[in-house]
Amino acid sequence: MKELIEKYNTPVPRYTSYPTVPNWKPDTFQKESYLNRLTDGFAQANADGISVYVHLPFCESLCTYCGCNTRITINHKVEEPYANAVVKEWALIQNRFTDTPRIREIHLGGGTPTFFSPPNLKMLVEGLLEGADIPADASFSFEAHPSNTTQEHLDVLRSLGFDRISLGIQDFDLKVQKAINRRQTVEDVDRVMRGARKAGYRSVNFDLVYGLPFQTMEGVRDAVEKVIELKPDRIAFYSYAHVPWMHPGQRAYSEADLPGPQLKLTLFTMGRQMLLDAGYEAIGFDHFALKSDSLYKAYADGTMHRNFMGFSDLRTDYLIGLGVSSISDIRNGFAQNIKAVEPYIEKVNNGILPLFKGHLHTEEDSFIRDQILNLTCRHHTSWKDETPARKDYMRNCLPHLSECVNDGLAVIGDDEVSVTEKGRVFVRHICAAFDADMHQAEVRQRYAQGV
């Protein structure tokens, strides 16, 4: 496995969307056309329920490794006007709907959602839920910072229907925490986890990162051991992407402080094996879940979905993004909000949807997107019943898969492809074979390494 990981440590997208954001065609994006598609497809998408993502960008201090769209401030007066603007944006979008929205999924991400006080979060969530239908299988989640999440946060959000939390751990090693300017103890994490269980949350996720400055085998082994002891239901074990020209905070340390490619790979393979040995099931390339968790169940029964929020156990056709920089996905179109807080609030207060770029799918984009979704979520795709032109497209892509087939990662059948057990870690490379934009060599250079 280590040799394969080394071989396939090449740049490939994460495929939370297709086309991927750098390959959107902004020149062909027209806001009104996007909004017409939003309205036209709503009734069908709403029958199964929709997802809502809210970006809450504020953090009290900058974690130097961070790649998110954040606003660093200790001034909590920013909470109320921002939360009010999000509720207003939701009202503007609802004006485009033809029926009462059925909200099946809400995720509060950031930034630090727990920067907001519990009363302000309550006001925000109640604003989203007002007049909406909530189906029985709805599932709401939020990103909780271990050092500032209080029992009141947990209780208030639980009372509003939240049943999953995600805790950013990254690493417990003090030297690493100092370099990334993110201090949190095992005790903080334990306190929030216990509080969440007591309040009735059914699933806890941890985010871990490998490839951070000063990480060592001993440090990562120790962090994963502590994580296994705490026993979250899900774990995302992400690769750190070093792009200081995009995220200047990463200049707080130098490249020489980062583990080299060999060590980085070893950190991943060691951590992965430890999680598998501890009873976690691998899902996709960097997620792990206990068999009792709903994400594993969705993965096992073939209903798992993937969108801008990552893997999800609920399949919805509409993901409405609210707040600065958030992206909406309506299956045949993407649209992203502007990134700066004040212009966002101003536009929304003036009744203008704050979109600044997007992509309108052609039918071919949608077809390729479905193939990629099948591969990432179900490890199999078939184009047997497609038009001759689509069959030709897929067949013409097959030569790009030859290395993966030779290495036993994928099997080509009669107008179908399956990902083998061994190939699951490399599914992004298998998807890339069918990605029209990836067939140009220079496009590959835009992405962070595959592992």
Q: Where on the chain is the footprint of ligand SF4 (CB under 6 A)?
A: 59, 62-63, 66, 68, 70, 110-112, 145, 168, 182
d(CA 80, CA 123): 9
Q: Do residues 307 and 319 make contact, with C-beta atoms less than 8 angstroms apart?
A: yes
Q: Do residues 1 and 420 make contact, with C-beta atoms less than 8 angstroms apart?
A: no
CB 60, min distance to ligand SF4, A: 8
Q: What is the sign, positive or negative, of the torsion defined by CA atoms of 249, 142, 138, 78?
A: negative
CB 59, min distance to ligand SF4, A: 3
Residue nearer to ligand SF4 on the CB measure, 71 or 361:
71
CB 402, min distance to ligand SF4, A: 39
Q: Do residues 157 and 196 make contact, with C-beta atoms less than 8 angstroms apart?
A: no
CB 98, min distance to ligand SF4, A: 36
Peptide bond connecting 249 to the previous residue in cis, omega within 30 degrees of 0:
no
CA-to-CA dists, residue 397 to 49, 89, 362, angstroms: 34, 41, 19
Residue nearer to ligand SF4 on the CB measure, 316 or 325:
325
- What residues are paired with 55 via a beta bridge? 109
d(CA 250, CA 186): 25
Tokens of 135: 């189906």
Residue 95 CB neighbour total at 10 angstroms: 10
End-to-end CA distance of the chain: 12
CB 271, min distance to ligand SF4, A: 19
CB 355, min distance to ligand SF4, A: 23
Residue nearer to ligand SF4 on the CB measure, 70 or 294:
70
Q: Do residues 167 and 193 make contact, with C-beta atoms less than 8 angstroms apart?
A: yes
Phi, psi of 49, deg, nearest 5: 95, 155
d(CA 25, CA 361): 9
Residue nearer to ligand SF4 on the CB measure, 182 or 305:
182
Residue nearer to ligand SF4 on the CB measure, 209 or 355:
209
Tokens of 56: 């809450």
d(CA 318, CA 45): 6
Q: Where are the beta strands (DSSP E) in 231-376?
A: 234-239, 281-283, 287-289, 305-307, 310-312, 319-322, 327-329, 333-337, 355-360
Residue nearer to ligand SF4 on the CB measure, 1 or 243:
243
CB 84, min distance to ligand SF4, A: 22
| Residue matched to tokens 């169940």 | 297
CB 70, min distance to ligand SF4, A: 5
CB 168, min distance to ligand SF4, A: 6
Of the candidates 80, 77, 82, 89, the residue with the CA atom closest to the CA atom of residue 110: 82
d(CA 360, CA 332): 6
DSSP string, 27-46: GG--HHHHHHHHHHHHHHHH
CB 63, min distance to ligand SF4, A: 3
Residue nearer to ligand SF4 on the CB measure, 165 or 372:
165
Phi, psi of 239, deg, nearest 5: -85, 130
Residue nearer to ligand SF4 on the CB measure, 168 or 450:
168
Residue nearer to ligand SF4 on the CB measure, 309 or 431:
309
CB 23, min distance to ligand SF4, A: 25
Residue nearer to ligand SF4 on the CB measure, 58 or 434:
58
Residue nearer to ligand SF4 on the CB measure, 176 or 419:
176
